[in-house]
Structure 1
């Protein structure tokens, strides 16, 4: 389709909109009402599992674990007191434990120092005691129980601190129902726990709760506060910018109405697609407002220019929408493609973003086509009001002209400088560290982060890794060779400073053997005779022990080793799992399969997925946008060359991360493809104008200079709009969004420099459209003042 046909198409479309403007307005209202009616289906899911697809191996391992041993999720409550073994404190803890058992749904087991299994024996009779079945008042008896508690390896730093001043309460949970529930089971559990802990009578215990349900629920609360905050802040920033640069009240209201409606429509689309809201919803308002506002501002600026050149209002609308229709469509298309590239990621929230974010961008474009003509069709025709540019605008335009002169006069040096910087960014990108520990996604001023850090420091383990030993045969775990392998593996892992302690069937057998040998610590080891293993297990269960079904499968073919760890970083997680696999090869025969699951394993798998997602999304965005650029510019060479200034800001950001050691997390992973999709908008305007000017005069220097003179101010304004809009994310309490807010501005500045310096120098140096035929274009005419948008 030729340029004339493109203009005619958008003019005809605008004419029909003007003809049926009241019907268009009613239609927009009706569509908005339809989308808003879907909001009842929206629900927030902050669980860690949503970051995985159903067929992800990590999720399959976790599901197998749940079917065999039950829910891996738990809640750990830490009480900080002067002395746990004071009668009053012990009574408060016991009352709290009883209330939690009564109040918390889906509770499988609750263990604290008062009811933890202390195994002893009288002759051949095994006794399993609860230390605080009654609360003694006699100091000597309380001291005896203190000594018992602190002598148990499994109790110390799990249920009781070494100094006896802190106590832990472990809540293990049943498998949650698979059907949809509101609120979800994890939220029900966390709410019941937090409500119980908040009672005034327990204030003296200084309680803190951590664990998956607590983390998910409080994360949801944070997201619920962050999303409207950013929505309001971003609208405020854009309103101030419009107030400064736009003309008239409609120049402020119409763009804001368009982006707000596009956001509302996108939320409805998320509901229609059956997606849950997740952590990424926090940035949705900023993304859509900053990216979607450009089309309407560009259209309004063009209309004002036409109107103030003396055209009647209707004719000004037809001509302006005809001229901006295709450029706005192309910028929306490339931005949508940048977001669509997320759909290649093996991470569920990003895959879903790759569907609803492009829809939001297209909604903003469609609403621009509909609402700008509609709202600006009202009013009396303006007289000719051509104005001279303000001194500030003149200085900006002169600065752009000087920059263009610099780039075209020294193209070799300019290209060499930018190429060196880009190469530095490429090298730095190889050193980017990926972080998938969700605790580090929160700043230290957030109470949830403080609680996790405190529990890790005080008791050493707010999370864990599950090691699954699968012998593939009934009662295979009971073989001494397998038990010896489990024992050696657990002891080796406990020597790792990242591991706080371990627990498995081996620990139960060791305590049974010690008890049956009069408590002699020398016998704290696995049985020496094969036939003793089933005997000890039978005696344990006859005495009332209830841990066996949590650590051994029903048929005895599988067992678990639970490693208690603190919240680990991605590098530490990878190191820990690698050590498990290496030791497993040493300690077990080939027919025994050893695998890992649980929170630490899932974090490591997410880390791997993030690395592949980053590469796939950048590659897909680059290829698709390059194809659009080649088709738009009708030149393979020019289209490929236009991608160089688009990819440069990506490498500058990645290089900066690698050089400074700032880690990339699940939120920040979205920044690369987003930068390409957004930065290409200004590149399109520059290269389209350049080709048009070159076809007119066939002179690279003059075509570049004229193009910069025309699009320079809009490009600067776009950079300002995007940078300030994204900057509001730096007010977040989540480190990922803070980094996106700051690094996006950093990237857009580099995109600006690449468009007004690197790209002109490349065009003059490489001459992608062939040889020049003339030496000079027609002189540049002064243009009347009008608000710039894109």
Structure 2
């Protein structure tokens, strides 16, 4: 299709939208009304395992752990009690009350505490005594207090030592209750609202303990996940409210116009509303990855409308009436707007090639949200832009301060361009050297594996974890899973004991030059529980399998969490060794510890040819998953960035039909990505979820302004302007639009920096930096490249430089 035909088609569509603008506005309102109830049903998928690719080696063992051992989600309820082990038993009595209240909470499968351990010992003691037969001739009076507190009972001492770090602290004044949560039914997604209510109920109980006790804390990965998602939901609402407010203030200051205040806000909110409704209808759910969807749609919507505002105001200033000016602006910018959003779609669509499901879903969500900006503009903006507001509203006539602002920006932008062209060689050298030095910082990047660092240092989650790490000696929970025979025997128990001894001997470097310390703060298995009962005269005479069965009968849920037996008792089962480690330690040290545990485990329980892969020894658990979480998300970052660059390059080639302009358009948008990542490395900031996909996302966002700049430059050249004059004109007009949109967005995103959830802070700051870098790239690097590689040859009337042409151009189109 010829440029003339393309321009005619654009003019026809614009005229249809303008003539029927009130009908289109009504249609937009009706669609929003239909979408509104559905959009409120948007849900979060909170399963951590979905953050991994289906073939990720750390995922399958975790899935087997959940399936075979009845779930793996444990919440620790911890509180101080100076009288916990007082011989009068009052501490244990209060502990029993708390335990019973926690067991009654919906969503709690069982609770393990010293109260349950004491109940087990009471049964063992009663069975052991057999009416006093084993105490025949004893001169000591019978102990009348709790069996666990009997000073003469070796069994009691064994169990107190065994469960230290799980049910109580080494100081014997810290009580801990392990609340085992009910997992989601097989094949179903966890009910987020029910889980929220479970955690809230547990927190209420721990913060309102029986008389005489101070409030306690909750810890555990389920608590962090719930807290993280609640903060993300709050951040999403805060972003919607405050960014709208700050955007409004910025637009009023910059444009002093009520219609241009309403237009971008309406476009963003409509796009978000319909996007969320489509996601609900498509049964897609938000995750930690996609929680900032509203931020992306805001960027695309605001940038689109601000370019339209600036061009419309320029045409009005030249003497055109409002209707004609808006019509011409729509005709001029229709194809650049569609082209810019098409490049956004290409950039965001690159995430479909990621191996992690939620990252793929996020790509889909951003593609939908970006595309919907086009109908939002078409349906809403014509009526809003041409409406006559009452006389008491803000006038559209530019006030003195606004005219001065326009004049100052014009002189500032064109002056900067003149200086760049005067010193283009030195500017290029400075940009190249500084850019290279900053970009090299990317080699220093490391990932954040401590999930608690996703929360601010003063937040309650961090304080809770610090309390648990200090009082119990490590809040990181993970597991070793080993094969087990159908019936336990002494040789097998000896193998497990040897493995546990080696695990306890693993050391990690001490902090601040201190001596090496144990890498695992606790190692516990069913074998340890059985060994602790060796001083029971009754259990001592039983075979290992009989001892295990008796313990299972008294602590069924806890025993089932430590040993898996298939329905066919002749088949081999699996044994679970529960590990504890410090959550707050460097990423490299965590990875080294996990690898060492895996190495030791496979040496003691090496795989053999007769075992299926699902029956071999494995190291897994939340600690392992969270250590690998960011690495899993980062694994495809540079692949998706390359694909995004390729997709955007292809769109630029289609739009401008020039390899030269394609490459010129890519450089100023790729450069900020490397600078942002390099800056993170030099500052020693670790990559968390907020930064995991910033490369592909930022590439898709920043290219919009380049398209508008290149299109305006080609139009100016087509009118016969020299390269220098065309750059000066575009630098002033499109440059102002870039400045206004970037300013509005950065101010709007500044609210994210107040979040309690650190990835949200990272995301807001990095997107703002990327947009600022894209602004500088398009105002500094892009004009330099155009000045170097575009010559002052005559532009053909039906074409542009060489084989290029402005998007949808004709001779004097829209002039």
Q: Which range, TM-score by smaller chain?
A: 0.7 to 0.9
Alignment-derived partner of residue 564 in structure 2: 553
Write out per-residue CA displacement over residues 84-140 of structure 1, whole angstroms, 9 at most, x where no aligned residue.
12444332211111222233444134333552555999999699xxxxxx9967999
CA distance in 1, matches of 2:686, 2:419: 36
CA distance in 2, matches of 1:142, 1:535: 26
Aligned positions of 1:647-666 closer than 5 A = 647-666=670-689
Report the CA distance between 1:164 and its aligned residue. Answer: 1.7
The question of 1:76 aligning with 2:76 is answered yes
Within the candidate set 517, 529, 532, 1:508 is matched to 529
**Are the structure 2 counterparts of residues 55 and 30 from structure 1 closer, same or farther at C-alpha, using a change threshold of 3 Å?**
farther
Alignment-derived partner of residue 98 in structure 1: 100
Alignment-derived partner of residue 175 in structure 2: 167
Report the CA distance between 1:719 and its aligned residue. Answer: 2.4
Write out per-residue CA displacement over residues 146-185 of structure 1, whole angstroms, 9 at most, x where no aligned residue.
9945874322222222222111111223443244675555
CA distance in 1, matches of 2:143, 2:349: 63
Write out per-residue CA displacement over residues 637-689 of structure 1, whole angstroms, 9 at most, x where no aligned residue.
22113211111111111001111110111122132222211211222222223
The question of 1:564 aligning with 2:566 is answered no
Report the CA distance between 1:436 and its aligned residue. Answer: 4.1
Q: Is the 8 A contact 1:321 1:369 kept in 2?
A: no
Write out per-residue CA displacement over residues 307-331 of structure 1, whole angstroms, 9 at most, x where no aligned residue.
4444454433322211111111122
Alignment-derived partner of residue 325 in structure 1: 334
CA distance in 2, matches of 1:145, 1:471: 31
The question of 1:740 aligning with 2:748 is answered no
* Greater Cα shift, 659-668 or 42-51: 42-51
Alignment-derived partner of residue 523 in structure 1: none
Alignment-derived partner of residue 639 in structure 1: 662
The question of 1:499 aligning with 2:499 is answered no
Aligned positions of 1:409-448 closer than 5 A = 409-448=422-461
Q: Is the 8 A contact 1:150 1:160 kept in 2?
A: no
Q: Is the 8 A contact 1:503 1:562 kept in 2?
A: yes
CA distance in 2, matches of 1:343, 1:126: 67
Alignment-derived partner of residue 7 in structure 2: 7
Aligned positions of 1:353-502 closer than 5 A = 353-379=362-388, 390-470=403-483, 479=492, 482-483=495-496, 485-493=498-506, 497-502=518-523
Partner secondary structure for residue 580 of structure 2: strand
Report the CA distance between 1:724 and its aligned residue. Answer: 1.7
CA distance in 1, matches of 2:739, 2:40: 41
Q: Is the 8 A contact 2:413 2:735 kept in 1?
A: yes
CA distance in 2, matches of 1:631, 1:518: 80
The question of 1:176 aligning with 2:184 is answered yes
Q: Is the 8 A contact 2:316 2:325 kept in 1?
A: yes
Structure 2: stretches of 5+ with no match in the other structure: 131-141, 509-516, 566-570, 796-815
**Are the structure 2 counterparts of residues 489 and 269 from structure 1 closer, same or farther at C-alpha, using a change threshold of 3 Å?**
farther
Write out per-residue CA displacement over residues 246-282 of structure 1, whole angstroms, 9 at most, x where no aligned residue.
2432121122112111111122122112122333565
Alignment-derived partner of residue 131 in structure 1: none
Q: Is the 8 A contact 1:71 1:174 kept in 2?
A: yes
Alignment-derived partner of residue 264 in structure 1: 273
Aligned positions of 1:305-316 closer than 5 A = 305-316=314-325
Q: Is the 8 A contact 1:51 1:606 kept in 2?
A: yes
**Are the structure 2 counterparts of residues 436 and 613 from structure 1 closer, same or farther at C-alpha, using a change threshold of 3 Å?**
farther
**Are the structure 2 counterparts of residues 123 and 109 from structure 1 closer, same or farther at C-alpha, using a change threshold of 3 Å?**
closer
Q: Is the 8 A contact 1:346 1:613 kept in 2?
A: yes
Partner secondary structure for residue 502 of structure 1: strand
**Are the structure 2 counterparts of residues 546 and 255 from structure 1 closer, same or farther at C-alpha, using a change threshold of 3 Å?**
closer
Partner secondary structure for residue 430 of structure 1: helix
Partner secondary structure for residue 390 of structure 1: helix
Number of residue pairs matched?
Answer: 756
* Greater Cα shift, 172-181 or 79-88: 172-181
Alignment-derived partner of residue 782 in structure 2: 759
Q: Is the 8 A contact 1:477 1:559 kept in 2?
A: no
Partner secondary structure for residue 643 of structure 1: helix
CA distance in 2, matches of 1:161, 1:715: 59
Report the CA distance between 1:610 and its aligned residue. Answer: 1.8
CA distance in 1, matches of 2:771, 2:193: 40
Q: Is the 8 A contact 1:50 1:349 kept in 2?
A: yes
Partner secondary structure for residue 617 of structure 2: strand
* Greater Cα shift, 470-479 or 683-692: 470-479
* Greater Cα shift, 111-120 or 570-579: 111-120
Structure 1: stretches of 5+ with no match in the other structure: 128-133, 520-526, 775-790
Aligned positions of 1:36-435 closer than 5 A = 36-39=36-39, 41-53=41-53, 56-86=56-86, 87-112=89-114, 115=117, 148-149=156-157, 152-178=160-186, 179=188, 184-199=193-208, 201=210, 204-280=213-289, 282-379=291-388, 390-435=403-448
Alignment-derived partner of residue 782 in structure 1: none
Report the CA distance between 1:603 and its aligned residue. Answer: 1.7
CA distance in 2, matches of 1:123, 1:113: 16
Report the CA distance between 1:379 and its aligned residue. Answer: 4.0
